[in-house]
Amino acid sequence: MPYPVTLLPGDGIGPEVAAAAVRAVNATGVAIEWDEVELSGAVIERTRQSAPDAVLESMERTRVGLKGPVTTPIGGGFQSVNVALRKKLELFANVRPVRSLPGIRTRFQDVKIDLIIFRENTEDLYSGLEHEVVTDVVTSLKVITRAASIRIAKYAFAFARANGRKKLTAVHKANIMKLGDGLFLKCAREVAAEYPDVEYKELIVDNASMQLVMRPETFDLLLLPNLYGDIVSDLAAGLVGGLGLVPGANMGEKYAVFEAVHGSAPDIAGKGVANPTALMESAVLMLRHLGERGAADRLQGAIERVYADGKTVTPDIGGTATTSEFTDAVIAGL
């Protein structure tokens, strides 16, 4: 029986990178029943829903989604699609592996980076509770709960134990936000006590950011509240070549959505030069989630061989290949 998967191509370069990822997954030989559902700025404007009913109905059936980028308005307009889906589907754990790829020229090309960020995905400032008290005075509420903090900590520590990862660092600002971040830290410590086999450390978020830039190879797993996790994820992506190379997974008790975390890049949409690596590697995470670890490893290996060869990479990393040519090379590598 094929695995049912909701495909959300998105907009901008989304449909191009989604098509590439679908081709790569199909080439592994794993049978997927793709249920493609349109999710774009135009659809959201028309339905007035950041998480349209058609998307939720498909996810209810498949439980697994592969999602391209969707443009989010800045300073107004509709709510972020990502935030809406995470809340509607209770996708409480945002997981972003950040790994060095062969052949990528960065400031850290002589350093092997292999870290994973676990970001609480449902609350903090992303609760969206804002209020204009009087003209030009706005408050935004930062919500931290024990339930959500314990849940993400347990997810991260369980992952560490199951995958042989030895060190986890909780990142916080409890020196200033003593109640909110203090509660997050208290929960992390409580869960850490149940996992003596995993080394536990803590870093204030500003120090963690500096340490990541100076010594990224010293980090293994990072556990963060929502806002810090979002910022640090992008910082870490910059260490290995940018958001176009980094996958993402949003995990819940019932549903899982795997997505490229980069933007929709409307300036290059339709030109055939978008880099599909992030969504392909998100598909690798999806295959592992489905239990197809062999296929996942083969696809990951094929992507890395294309980068190691360096002859068929896209313009964003110094090559001349089109999206289709890059995908052809990955499939040939399978």
Whether the per-residue pLDDT at 72 is higher than 80: the answer is: no
| Candidate list 3, 126, 200, 255, residue with the active-site label | 126
Residue-range domains of the chain with CATH: 1-104+241-334 (3.40.718.10), 107-239 (3.40.718.10)
| Candidate list 112, 206, 254, 271, residue with the active-site label | 206
Whether the per-residue pLDDT at 224 is higher than 90: the answer is: yes
Q: Is 11 a catalytic residue?
A: no
Higher pLDDT, 177 or 82: 177
| Candidate list 200, 230, 255, 307, residue with the active-site label | 230
Confidence of residue 84 (pLDDT cuts 50, 70, 90): confident
Confidence of residue 331 (pLDDT cuts 50, 70, 90): very high
Pair of tokens at residue 98 = 């950040």
Say what the pTM is: 0.93
| Candidate list 3, 87, 155, 173, residue with the active-site label | 173
The set of residues, in sequence order, having a beta carbon less than 8 Å from that of 284 and lying 6+ positions away, is 247, 296, 299, 300, 303
Q: Is 200 a catalytic residue?
A: no
| Candidate list 234, 297, 316, 328, residue with the active-site label | 234
Whether the per-residue pLDDT at 73 is higher than 80: the answer is: no
- For the chain, the average pLDDT equals 93
Q: Is 154 a catalytic residue?
A: no
Confidence of residue 76 (pLDDT cuts 50, 70, 90): very low
Average pLDDT value for residue range 304-319: 95
Average pLDDT value for residue range 38-56: 84
Whether the per-residue pLDDT at 75 is higher than 70: the answer is: no
Whether the per-residue pLDDT at 22 is higher than 60: the answer is: yes
Q: Is 230 a catalytic residue?
A: yes
pLDDT value of position 79 = 60
SS (H, E, C) the chain: CCEEEEEECCCCCHHHHHHHHHHHHHHCCCCEEEEECCCCHHHHHHHCCCCCHHHHHHHHHHCEEEECCCCCCCCCCCCCHHHHHHHHCCCCEEEEEEECCCCCCCCCCCCCCEEEEEEECCCEHHHCCEEEEECCEEEECCECCHHHHHHHHHHHHHHHHHCCCCEEEEEECCCCCCCHHHHHHHHHHHHHCCCCCCEEEEEEHHHHHHHHHHCHHHCCEEEECHHHHHHHHHHHHHHCCCHHHCEEEEECCCCEEEEECCCCCCCCCCCCCCCCHHHHHHHHHHHHHCCCHHHHHHHHHHHHHHHHHCCCCCHHHCCCCCHHHHHHHHHHHC
Q: Which amino acid, one-letter code, is at 194?
A: E
255-296 tens-digit pLDDT: 999 998 888 999 999 999 999 999 999 999 999 999 999 999
pLDDT value of position 283 = 98
- Cα-based torsion angle of the residue sequence 119, 124, 127, 132 in order, rounded to the nearest 10 degrees: -140
Confidence of residue 49 (pLDDT cuts 50, 70, 90): confident
pLDDT value of position 74 = 45
Average pLDDT value for residue range 51-76: 85
Best CA proximity match to 198, nearest among 165, 222, 170, 223: 165
